Amino acid sequence: MIKRMVLIFCFLSFAATSKAAVWENVPALPQAQKVKQEETLINNNPVQTTIYTTATESKEIAEFYKTKLTNFGWKLETETAQQGVNLMAFSKQNKILNIMVQNIIGKNFISIAQSIAPKEVPKETPCPECQKTKKDLIEKLKLKLSKGEEIKEDDLPKDLFPKEPILPDEDSPGRDLQFIPRYPGAIRTNSVEKEGGKKVSLTYFAKDSVEKVVNFYRQNMGNYYWKLDKEVDFQNLPEALSEKINVDIIGQSLVFKSPSASCIISITEEPQTKSTIIGVNYNEK
């Protein structure tokens, strides 16, 4: 549930420009027309996205990239086709290349996203005592099963099946906005920027209630020269809108404006943990 709600904020958020990365030359499909190209920064990880449109068939597009990219030293990792969408993932040294082909109104759109592979976090080596405890437990359970005895809950470690989801305990890579207050104790889980910081989306987790977080932003945004323009309560949507949107979300959106920008702060409850998700979407005029 946590991942799902974070993905919702990511989907509604913006992306960010980064000129630091050096990108590989990815061949363009002959006669394909470039629609858009941009560089983004997601959690401090640069991503370059290029979109083309073409009348070429999907299978021909896939064969073109599988052949050409292999010649360029890329390795095909996965390939899937589902509901009219073809996905291919390639890797090369520390880079990842994802290609999506989708038919929209009779034309195929090719989206090519190149990014730097995230660094792997070294796995902790289990302590010898932990390994011995685990081995002894396995042998004990095997013995009970061999005797036809029932394995009861008391035979298992109390922490084997955590009853509560684990919340993040440290910030993900990225940066905060100096002109938007950060809720005290909140943990940043997502950071996306576009156009050199003119469009920014941030997501945080906080342990306090939705009401407390909402009041914090109502009281503190004015100190940063923001004016509250509108409030939207998700449990009290206009009738025409509530009929179209079938969501059961507890929370509010606060729309702030300044002479040069707008900022939407969405504060919602995460049902499983009763914690609060804070989504900040900043858009400079």
Tally DSSP H helices, then E strands, for the chain.
Answer: 5, 12
Domain C-terminal end among 85, 116, 147: 116
3-state secondary structure of 185: coil
Sign of CA dihedral 100, 104, 108, 111: negative
266 domain residue, yes or no: yes
* Domain count within the chain: 2
% the chain with pLDDT above 70: 76
Domain C-terminal end among 92, 116, 140: 116
Residue 143's pLDDT is 76
For the segment 64-78, what is each residue's pLDDT rounded down to a tens digit?
999 999 999 999 999
For the segment 246-276, what is each residue's pLDDT rounded down to a tens digit?
456 788 899 999 999 999 999 998 877 778 9
154 domain residue, yes or no: no
3-state secondary structure of 282: strand
3-state secondary structure of 35: strand
For the segment 201-238, what is each residue's pLDDT rounded down to a tens digit?
999 999 999 999 999 999 999 999 999 999 988 766 55
Which CATH number fits the domain that encloses residue 67? 3.30.310.80
**Domain region containing 69:** 45-116
For the segment 9-27, what is each residue's pLDDT rounded down to a tens digit?
343 333 333 344 568 888 8
Q: At residue 165, what is the residue type? A: P
What is the C-alpha separation between 105 and 79, in angstroms, rounded? 23
Domain C-terminal end among 63, 88, 116: 116
For residues 44 and 110, the answer to whether their CB atoms sit within 8 Å is no
Task: Examine the domain organization and report whether 192 and 279 are in the same domain.
Answer: yes
Report pTM: 0.57
